[in-house]
Amino acid sequence: MPIIINLDMMLLKRKMSSAELAARIGMTPANLSILKTGKAKAVRMSTMDAICRELKCQPGDLFEYVENDDPWER
């Protein structure tokens, strides 16, 4: 998928672990891992709200669109 999730980067910037974020936003670490690894097919607005609130960032800081040049990946 050409949407890249920069959650790891934001966690590093805020010096926060995945487990801590998961606990703060009331999400299971397994679900957060789905989001971090890019396996997620959709993100709820409430989840976005909680992540942005805890990481003090904008949704745009977490997601990035990258043009996919590989025809096999399209």
Residue 66 has a CB neighbour count (10 Å cut-off) of 9
Q: How many Å apart are CA 20 and CA 11, to the nearest integer?
A: 10
Q: Minimum distance between the CB of residue 21 and another protein, rounded to whole angstroms?
A: 12
Q: Which is nearer to another protein, 30 or 67 (CB)?
A: 30
Question: Among residues 41 and 74, whose Cβ is nearest to another protein?
Answer: 41
Q: Closest approach of Cβ 36 to another protein, in Å?
A: 10
Helix (H) or strand (E) holding 65: strand 63-65
- The residue among 6 and 47 lying less far from another protein, judged by its C-beta, is 47
